[in-house]
Amino acid sequence: MPALKARRGFRAQPFRYFVIGFGLVFLTCYYLVHEPASSVRTRSKDAARNSTLGFQKILVLSKSPSWRTRGLKAAAAYTGLDVEIPVQSLPTPEFIQVFRDLGPAEGKHPGLGQAYNWLAHLDLVKYAIALDLETVLILEDDADWDVSIKHQMQLISSAVREFTFVDEEDETPYGKSWDILWIGHSGEPTDNNTRRIEFKDPSAPLEAEYTGWAKKYFHRFTPGTRVMQRSVNPVGTIGYALTKRGAKKVAIWAGKGEDEAYDIHLMHGCRSKDLSCLVVTPELMHHYVPPRDFGYVSEVAGVNGAGSRAEEDDFEKLMGSTPNVLHSTRCRVLFGSTCLRK
């Protein structure tokens, strides 16, 4: 008899396991359906600090390996970023000339260096479209950023979601209600008459630390903050993100030329509302610049005939500077230092 009772007890266990398992499944499903909005926001902020900063890819514009790309790769490795540098073919001089001549003769046209830069950016935009990316971050190969970039992008995620009224159930870091998100640029007016969100960021430069043409707008900031707003006058394409919709619109908008430079043409699209543009200011990214005393000029200026008196390889051994980035990742990893331009 005792043996028989043991067998009956054993056979009763599966039903008990079934009840427990059903209860766990029910609770899991209930939690997923009724998950607190705070959990969704936390996941979206966490995604903003992943290896691509919450975008599907980080693409880098570069015509060839150089101190620019080697420094960028070192900076990316130091901050745990995954960047891709697609091989870009140079357009023929004849094609460049055709592109420069687009539009009325009396209108504005890009210089030679500006045209090369413009078409290179368009190539990356079209590459993102071909890959069917939901979002992409495009960097120029001399871009530099703060060692705290991942934390910075978590703050940007919250600001963009709030600014564009992203649904609480949307887990994407930045939503999709925009075309261009400028995080790296050379300046943007902070307009008191523009709807904006101001948020604290200890890595934001103070007025005394900021250089450039946009410094005159700094009195509109609370010290130690950044601002998210609609783009009014963004200059520079050091680092900008595109949604899938934005990439297609930029390809059409910028594909016709008829302006002095790629960034200026995008700026005009933002002003006219043909493009939906957001900008964070002060910027998170800026050009790393080798010492000008050794003859450095930008690639655009070099193509335009300004030339360079220095050997390119020398720039890897000489610490330069990065405007408006308090703790340059390039200078930290390459020289063990900071290099804020003052």
37: which residues sit within 8 A by CB, 6+ positions away? 168, 169
The amino acid at 22: F
Task: Give the span between the Cα atoms of 331 and 342, in whole angstroms.
Answer: 15
Predicted confidence (pLDDT) at residue 21 exceeds the cutoff of 50: yes
Using CA atoms in the order 16, 21, 24, 25, what is the torsion angle rounded to 10 degrees? -140
Task: State what percent of residues in the chain have pLDDT above 90.
Answer: 70
- In this prediction, residue 273 carries a pLDDT of 94
pLDDT-derived band of residue 253, with 50, 70 and 90 as boundaries?
Answer: very high
pLDDT at 316: 81
Is the pTM higher than 0.75? The answer reads yes
Q: pLDDT tens for residues 122-135?
A: 999 999 999 999 99
Q: What is the CATH number of domain 43-287?
A: 3.90.550
Residue 20 pLDDT: 56
Phi, psi of 34 (to 5 degrees): -110, 30
Give the span between the Cα atoms of 68 and 290, in whole angstroms: 10
Average pLDDT of the segment spanning 261-280: 96
Confidence of residue 83 (pLDDT cuts 50, 70, 90): very high
Q: Is the pLDDT assigned to residue 38 strictly greater than 70?
A: no
Mean pLDDT along residues 65-87: 96
Provide the pLDDT for residue 314: 74
Average pLDDT, integer, range 93-120: 94
Find tokens 């005009």 and name the residue. Answer: 268
Domain extents for the chain? 43-287
Cβ–Cβ under 8 Å, residues 284 and 184? yes
Prior bond to 104 cis, omega within 30?
no
Whether residue 40 is predicted with pLDDT greater than 90 in this model: the reply is no
Binned at pLDDT 50, 70 and 90, residue 8 comes out as very low
Residue range 165-215, pLDDT digits in tens? 999 899 999 999 999 999 999 999 877 777 899 999 999 999 999 999 999
Contact 242, 180 (CB under 8 A): yes
